[in-house]
Amino acid sequence: MTSSIPNTCRPYLPPEWAPQSGVMLTWPHSHGDWGPHLSEVEPVFVAIAHAIADRERLLCVCFDACHRRHVEEQLRAAGVPATRVQYALAPSNDSWARDHGPLGVVCRNRPLLLDFGFNGWGGKYPAGLDNAISRAVASQGGFRDTPLETVDIVLEGGSIDVDGSGSLLTTTRCLLAPTRNPNMSREQLEHELGDWLGIRQVHWLNHGYLAGDDTDSHIDTLARFCDPGTIAYVACDDPADEHYADLAAMERELRTLASRHGGPYRLVPLPWPRARYDEHGQRMPATYANFLVINDAVLVPAYDDPADETARQQLQGCFPDREIISIPCLPLIQQHGSLHCVTMQLPAGVLTAASP
């Protein structure tokens, strides 16, 4: 596959802690799986929106004009300043903006948005509407004058994490799944990640999963960079739990990794919340690795669990200069995702500067 973009510059995917212009949310609606649970999940989105709008801009993707009016009222009632929020209209299958939103890279000191393909996590769910959202937003001027480049590769934002120094962390279960890019080898994928995201080193994890997760082990549920030398990861301390052996194997893999600057990473274990089950008895994927870094803060999922406070403390140590804000996320994991999964940060220069 070819494009003029990688030939004219080497795009660079900033780490999540780099300056942001805003965060994109695809608001839940009654036309999909959230329908029966809207009264539970919308307060979560409002809490996320409020925390973001306090520090940067918010881009809300709404299903249609009627839905936009509803979202505006929700945010107005919560005291979210209207000057901090902009809207775009696009019908959606679901609300997982991390996976259908654009990846924001920097090209010659200017932002560039990459629209990778999204096929519903390997064809598990309908995704045609979601796959068109970024182009719909761009056509409405939602990204201002930032160009949007379509990339003919299936890649979800939750499947990768970068340290800002050329290293990328991912899992073989996801990126090498035959339902995503069946005609691409591991070496070809590494080459494409280098061209499009400025990656020089790919760390592949062969272990790590969460029951109830249907993404084929997205890395943002398992292990995350906190700075170029630190990785926070989920650790199971219960030998009787079904995850114990595989997460212990993942931890051993993490200990073998070396950063681009040489030497091992500092590894910070995140606590293990008690098991939660949905109405059908299926275990839900509660994970503290699904945090979101924004300007001056880190939003951390909370699950009404004794481990919530430990997770806050561990991540405060990873981000000592940022405020740690807990967001109640039990409603989100009913649909097999959490806080990071419903958000997509946009680099500086993409959205109009917010009023102070």
Place of tokens 């959202």: 133
Question: Exposed, middle or buried, 183 (CB in 10 Å: 0-12/13-18/19+)?
Answer: exposed
Place of tokens 């801009």: 57
Q: Strand order of the sheet with strand 161-162?
A: 161-162, 167-171, 201-205
- Does residue 19 contact residue 109 with C-beta atoms inside 8 Å? no
Beta bridge partners of 149: 114
Give the C-alpha separation, 165 to 160, whole Å: 14
Q: SS3 helix, strand, coil % of the chain, rounded to 5?
A: 30, 25, 45
Catalytic one of 60, 107, 174, 341: 341
- Does residue 231 contact residue 223 with C-beta atoms inside 8 Å? yes
| Ramachandran angles phi, psi of 291, nearest 5° | -85, 160
| 341 labelled catalytic | yes
Give the C-alpha separation, 175 to 189, whole Å: 8
Rounded to whole angstroms, what are the CA distances from 304 to 78, 169, 269, 335?
Answer: 22, 29, 19, 17
* Catalytic sites, residue numbers: 341
